[in-house]
């Protein structure tokens, strides 16, 4: 099948023609297959958020193009608007965009803008609330009476309610405690499974992306530095460290073991580590 | 993008103008404006213009930046120009048809008035471009200091101004972000009838106000935690001090003012 999203030679410069002109993206190209879960990592200021805002037509490329299902998202106005619904973008700290009197109304904002009938809006709001674990009682509350983590989940539900084919989340777990982080990751996963959606997630928490993503994009100083399976990316640990990035604790430990000449395969999640250690122990006991 | 608004923005730099005492710059602006409004002849305008051009050159602020700042004023400029062009009585009629008469005096006046506005605004921009908000408020506070005697809360006023200036770019950035986020949920600000467009602002204004209040609250708490309690007995980290450059500037300013007034009197 053709890729759902293609990014070709994307360049972006901010504030062109002022003393503050700044290259935020430089010749970025990649494509996204239907149903993939892609993690996007990179140092602060490497252009991750800028890249994400191009994918649903919020920012216009300085040059280069973005194809959704093979069609340039800037080819006509109607299609650009459609892209906003087909590619849902949850911003960094989305809880600061809530504005309605009730949680229900806030989640309904997106579907309403799509011009859906009332019953369909109602169905979507309730379903989206279900995905993120917002109860019926909470739907009638003011969003400003919720806790930070709950507000975050309401904001995510606001985008999920548009039922985007591609759901993009910009650091959805930033500033939450481990419990809250886990919860959000589970919410995203359940949406993906239910709708067979494609997910792109920007994150600073290496352990999170390692666990959940099928593929990683690594941004470094406005360019796409790496694109590959988590294992391949994490095995280039020195390059990652040079970019100011971290690798999962457990990967680092296993790389150290390798250095010491112990024949382990590299791993990047705890489960893999356990399996790998088991394999070695059994291998040894046989010998 | 909203971000490209340059009004009141500070362009960091290290030119002689940047380093000048903010009080000097404030006084210079006042003298410059007085000179501009005393000017009435080509030569006097020329002098004021030369002063402005010289200052811009020394400050190393790109002319482009100043021109961009002037863009929002185009309507006012055109309006002023047209009014003066059409309604200045005079002898030397250039064009006359229907009820419209354009006189040579009208053309001259229109050009001079537009030049006056342009020079007025550029001069003001130059002050804000070369002076940090903190410098500006420090300067104001110091210049207005004598008013404390008659119980004007000079320090509080300048502190408020300083905070307001400081937060303009932050709020603009925030507005940009909120607009993008609501657009991502399909909000439409460009189409629809007037009422719909006004309604479309609600999803922007509510989060913006909430975050402005939140910021104000946090700032107030932070200031209180550091025992801020107003102007009395407060010392400054950067003391304002006049230097040699300031002296030169004052001499130049007096010369400019005298020359302009003379030139205008003599009608050169
Ligand atoms: N609206 C803007 N105007 C000008 N420059 C911007 C703007 N937004 C971002 N930049 C600049 O572009 C660069 C990339 O920013 P971006 O927000 O994409 O980084 P990021 O990778 O998302 O960083 P973070 O991890 O901190 O969120 C940064 O250097 C930033 O200063
Ligand atoms: Mg970002």
* Average pLDDT score over residue span A188-204: 92
Domain containing B57 equals 2-168+241-266
- Spatial strand order of the sheet with A198-202 comes to A87-90, A166-170, A198-202, A37-42, A215-220, A223-228
pLDDT given for residue A102 in this prediction: 93
Q: Is residue B181 part of a domain?
A: no
* Average pLDDT score over residue span A128-152: 91
The pair of three-digit structure tokens given for residue A200, joined into one six-digit string: 């792109």
At the topology level, CATH places domain A34-57+81-231 in Rossmann fold (3.40.50)
DSSP code of residue A91 = P
Residue A219 CA to ligand 2 center (angstroms) comes to 11
pLDDT given for residue A287 in this prediction: 43
Ligand 1 atom closest to residue A204's alpha carbon, by position in its atom list: 25
Q: Ligand 1, atom 22: nearest CA belongs to which residue?
A: A49
Report helix, strand or coil for A8: strand
Q: Tell which wins on pLDDT, B260 or B4.
A: B260
pLDDT in tens, B88-97: 777 777 777 7
Residue A105 has pLDDT above 90, yes or no: yes
pLDDT in tens, A255-282: 888 888 888 887 888 888 898 888 888 8
Residue A119 has pLDDT above 70, yes or no: yes
Instruction: Please state, in angstroms and rounded to a whole number, the distance separating the CA atoms of residues B254 and A134.
Output: 71
Out of B4, B181, B211, name the one closest to residue A91 (CB): B181
The fraction of chain A above a pLDDT of 70, given in percent, is: 97
Residue A285 has pLDDT above 60, yes or no: no
| Cα angle: A57, vertex B193, A117; to 5 degrees | 65
Q: Is residue B175 part of a domain?
A: no
Q: Which residue has the tokens 């404390």?
A: B148
Residues forming a β-bridge with A89: A168
Q: Is residue B251 part of a domain?
A: yes
pLDDT given for residue B97 in this prediction: 74
* Average pLDDT score over residue span B94-122: 81
Q: Is residue B159 part of a domain?
A: yes
Q: Are B189 and B197 in contact (CB under 8 A)?
A: yes
A83 to chain B, closest Cα gap in Å? 9
Instruction: Please state, in angstroms and rounded to a whole number, the distance separating the CA atoms of residues A195 and A101.
Output: 29
pLDDT in tens, A156-187: 999 999 999 999 999 998 888 888 888 899 99
Instruction: Please state, in angstroms and rounded to a whole number, the distance separating the CA atoms of residues B5 and B21.
Output: 26
Residue A109 has pLDDT above 90, yes or no: yes
Judge: A19–B181 Cβ closer than 8 Å, yes or no.
Answer: no
- Substitution target in B185, B201, B202, B217 with the highest count of A β-carbons within 10 Å is B185
Instruction: Please state, in angstroms and rounded to a whole number, the distance separating the CA atoms of residues A160 and A106.
Output: 12
pLDDT given for residue A284 in this prediction: 63
The fraction of chain A above a pLDDT of 90, given in percent, is: 56
Give residues with Cβ within 8 angstroms of B117, minimum separation 6.
B73, B76, B77, B80
Q: Is residue B113 part of a domain?
A: yes
Confidence class for position B170, pLDDT limits 50, 70, 90: confident
Residue B13 has pLDDT above 60, yes or no: yes
B126 closest CA partner among B53, B75, B72? B53
Q: Is residue B191 part of a domain?
A: no
Report helix, strand or coil for A111: helix
CA B145 to chain centroid, in Å, comes to 22
A34 to chain B, closest Cα gap in Å? 21
pLDDT given for residue A63 in this prediction: 93
DSSP code of residue A11 = E
Residues forming a β-bridge with A169: A90, A201
B7 interfaces chain A, CB cutoff of 8 Å: no
Confidence class for position B222, pLDDT limits 50, 70, 90: very high
Q: Is residue B197 part of a domain?
A: no
* Average pLDDT score over residue span B203-219: 91
* Average pLDDT score over residue span A93-119: 92
Top-confidence range, A76-90, A263-277, B31-45, B139-153: A76-90
pLDDT given for residue B5 in this prediction: 53
For CATH 3.40.50.300, list the domain ranges present in chain A: 34-57+81-231
CA A94 to chain centroid, in Å, comes to 13
The pair of three-digit structure tokens given for residue A246, joined into one six-digit string: 């971290």
Out of B4, B184, B203, name the one closest to residue A99 (CB): B203
Q: Which residue in chain B has the smallest CA separation from A160?
A: B185
pLDDT given for residue B60 in this prediction: 84
pLDDT given for residue B247 in this prediction: 86
Q: Are A192 and A163 in contact (CB under 8 A)?
A: no
Question: Count of domains in chain B?
Answer: 1
pLDDT given for residue B268 in this prediction: 61
Average pLDDT across chain B, whole number: 83
Judge: B64–A88 Cβ closer than 8 Å, yes or no.
Answer: no
Instruction: Please state, in angstroms and rounded to a whole number, the distance separating the CA atoms of residues B72 and A218.
Output: 41
Quick one: how many helices (H) and strands (E) in chain B? 11, 2
pLDDT given for residue A129 in this prediction: 93
Residues of A in contact with B202 (CB under 8 A): 99
B190 interfaces chain A, CB cutoff of 8 Å: no
B183 to chain A, closest Cα gap in Å? 7
Judge: A19–B4 Cβ closer than 8 Å, yes or no.
Answer: no
pLDDT given for residue A240 in this prediction: 87
Q: Is residue B29 part of a domain?
A: yes
């Amino acid at each position: 099948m053709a890729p759902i999203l293609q990014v070709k030679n994307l360049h972006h410069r901010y504030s062109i023609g002022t003393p503050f002109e700044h290259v935020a993206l430089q010749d970025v190209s990649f494509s996204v297959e239907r149903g993939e879960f892609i993690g996007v990592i990179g140092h602060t200021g490497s252009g991750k958020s800028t890249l994400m805002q191009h994918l649903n037509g919020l920012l216009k490329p300085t040059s280069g193009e973005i194809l959704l299902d093979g069609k340039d998202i800037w080819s006509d106005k109607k299609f650009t608007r459609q892209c906003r619904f087909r590619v849902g973008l949850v911003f960094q700290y989305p809880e600061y965009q809530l504005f309605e009197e009730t949680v229900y109304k806030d989640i309904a904002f997106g579907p309403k803008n799509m011009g859906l009938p009332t019953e369909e809006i109602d169905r979507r709001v309730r379903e989206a609330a279900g995905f993120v674990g917002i109860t019926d009682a909470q739907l009638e509350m003011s969003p400003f009476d919720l806790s930070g983590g709950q507000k975050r989940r309401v904001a995510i539900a606001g985008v999920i309610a548009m039922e985007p084919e591609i759901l993009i989340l910009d650091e959805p777990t930033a500033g939450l405690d481990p419990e809250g982080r886990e919860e959000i990751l589970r919410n995203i996963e359940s949406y993906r499974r239910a709708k067979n959606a494609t997910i792109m997630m920007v994150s600073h928490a290496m352990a999170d992306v390692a666990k959940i993503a099928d593929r990683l994009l690594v941004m470094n100083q406005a360019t796409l530095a790496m694109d590959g399976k988590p294992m391949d990316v994490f095995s280039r640990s020195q390059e990652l460290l040079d970019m100011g990035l971290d690798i999962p604790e457990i990967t680092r430990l296993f790389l150290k073991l390798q250095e010491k000449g112990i024949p382990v395969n590299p791993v990047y999640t705890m489960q893999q580590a356990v399996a790998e250690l088991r394999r070695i122990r059994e291998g040894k006991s046989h010998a | 993008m909203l971000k490209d608004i340059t009004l009141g923005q500070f362009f960091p730099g290290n030119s002689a103008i940047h380093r000048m005492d903010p009080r000097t710059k404030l006084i210079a602006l006042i003298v410059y404006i007085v000179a501009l409004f005393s000017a009435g002849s080509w030569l006097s305008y020329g002098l004021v213009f030369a002063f402005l051009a010289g200052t811009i050159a020394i400050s190393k602020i790109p002319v482009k930046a100043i021109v961009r700042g002037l863009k929002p004023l185009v309507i006012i400029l055109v309006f002023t120009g047209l009014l003066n062009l059409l309604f200045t009585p005079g002898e030397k009629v250039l064009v006359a048809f229907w009820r419209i008469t354009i006189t040579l005096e009208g053309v001259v006046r229109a050009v001079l008035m537009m030049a006056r506005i342009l020079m007025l605004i550029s001069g003001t921009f130059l002050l804000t471009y070369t002076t940090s908000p903190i410098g500006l408020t420090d300067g104001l506070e110091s210049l207005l200091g004598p008013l404390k005697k008659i119980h004007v809360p000079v320090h509080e006023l300048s502190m408020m101004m300083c905070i307001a200036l400081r937060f303009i770019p932050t709020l603009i950035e925030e507005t940009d972000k909120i607009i993008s986020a609501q657009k991502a949920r399909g909000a439409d600000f460009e189409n629809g009838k007037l009422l719909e467009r006004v309604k479309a602002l609600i999803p922007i204004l509510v989060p913006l106000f909430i975050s402005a209040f939140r910021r104000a609250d946090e700032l107030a708490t932070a200031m209180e935690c550091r025992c801020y309690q107003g102007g009395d007995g407060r010392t400054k980290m950067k003391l304002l001090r006049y230097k040699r450059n300031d002296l030169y500037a004052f001499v130049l300013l007096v010369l400019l003012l005298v020359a302009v007034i003379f030139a205008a009197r003599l009608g050169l």
